Amino acid sequence: MDVFFTTIRRSVPLEQAGMFHRLDWKTKSIRAQRPVYPRAPSVEILNARGGGRGGRGILRMDDRLYVASYHSLEVYDLAGNYLRAISHPLMVGIHELFSARPGHIWFTATTIDAALELELSTNAIVRERWPRELPGIQTALGVKPLSIDKSADNRTCHVDNKIIRDPSHLHLNAVACWRGEMYATFGFRGVIANLDRGKVVVSDPSQQPLHNLLVQPDGTAIVAGSYSGAIRCYDLHSGSLKGVIELRQFRRVRSLLRRYWPAYHLKQLLLQRLLGHGAPPRPLFVRGLDLVDGLLFVGISPAAILCIDLHTEELLDVYQYSSDIRVAVHGLRVVAEKTP
């Protein structure tokens, strides 16, 4: 079994700020890796914490892997060999990827709060969802439409991140289909919404920011609480919480993180006192989910991957990629069958 994952690293030059990795899960050995960063067009990222840095979501389609950077999809084979890159003027701050039909990829343009479906054969956008333009979302969340030129090349227009500080920003970062309808996570609101009906389905502001979205056939939505250190399961029928997996409950996770907490809290206090704002790299920053044969794979920081039995909620295995708290997992995709 191979686990493909991407990482983001803070406070280093852009070219060193993210990687794509192929991991042999059985031997815990890295079989392939390559830097991931926005290449063409090039961008200047001033935000040392994130912004356009690093690798993002990963999608498998047949014998190809599509790996998101800030404004492009890098294409790899299942051996981890780089093949080519795809970009589009509306690829801005890509986070997670999803496919609802062959030859098409939904990408979340998180910076501009959009979910867009790309047709790979033509490089054209064939379906669009702009939730801030939907009356139901506007009423429920008190947001206004985003004012941008959708026909322009937006890839280099928003790297200063001013756009995400707008009070109406949703941080749409993941999508999934259930019963033929599109659902999305609005990370900054702690919300799962139905984008076809323009309706908020789950609202849990205490869990913001939410990230990732896996929807099971029975309507169970699995999401990661980036700051809460937990995996949460919601019922899309009722919007109610079905269950929580607190990652701190696992002794191996507590042991892995123990030495990072004192420095984190001290740095957080100093930043608040000296600058009045700011946040140091956070231990147990949760991002990256995949579910294969009942096994839930979860990415955390400092960059590590947890394997949890979803039925028993038992932690089965851990792989730690880095002990540097500045390095976090972002994208995660598991290929269970043997690959080259």
pLDDT at 102: 96
C-alpha torsion sign, points 186, 87, 71, 284: positive
Burial letters 49-71, b for 16+ CB under 10 A, else e: ebbbbbbbbbbbeeeebbbbbbb
Cβ-proximal residues to 26 (8 Å cutoff; 6+ apart), any chain: 1
Phi, psi (5° rounding) for residue 188?
-75, -10
pLDDT at 210: 93
pLDDT at 52: 66
The count of other CB atoms within 10 Å of the CB of residue 75 is 17
pLDDT at 268: 82
pLDDT at 182: 98
Prediction pTM value = 0.94
pLDDT at 71: 94
pLDDT at 63: 95
Angstrom distance (rounded) from CA 119 to CA 140: 32
pLDDT at 44: 66
The full set of domain ranges for the chain reads 2-335
Max intra-chain CA distance, the chain: 53
The count of other CB atoms within 10 Å of the CB of residue 201 is 20
pLDDT at 339: 72
Scan for tokens 């919007």, then name that residue: 239
CATH 2.120.10.30 fits 2-335, yes or no: yes
Q: Are 178 and 215 in contact, with CB atoms under 8 Å apart? A: yes
Q: Are 196 and 177 in contact, with CB atoms under 8 Å apart? A: no
pLDDT at 207: 83
Mean pLDDT for each consecutive 10-residue tract of the chain (340 residues)?
A: 94 83 97 90 62 85 96 96 96 96 97 97 97 98 95 86 89 97 96 98 90 97 94 96 96 95 86 72 94 97 97 97 95 88
CA-based angle 239:243:244, to the nearest 5? 120
Q: Measure the N-to-C terminal CA separation of the chain; round to a whole number of Å.
A: 11
Q: 3-state SS of the chain?
A: CEEEEEEEECCCCHHHCEEEEEEECCCCEEEEEEECCCCCCCCCCCCCCCCCCCCCCEEEECCEEEEECCCEEEEEECCCCEEEEEECCCCCCEEEEECCCCCEEEEEEHHHCEEEEEECCCCEEEEEECHHHCHHHHHHHCCCCCCCCCCCCCCCCCCCCHHHHCCCCCCEEEEEEECCEEEEEEHHHCEEEECCCCEEEEECHHHCCEEEEEECCCCEEEEEECCCCEEEEEECCCCCEEEEEEHHHCHHHHHHHHHHHHHHHHHHHHHHHHCCCCCCCCCCCCCCEEEECCEEEEEECCCEEEEEECCCCEEEEEEECCCCCCEEEEEEEEECCCCC
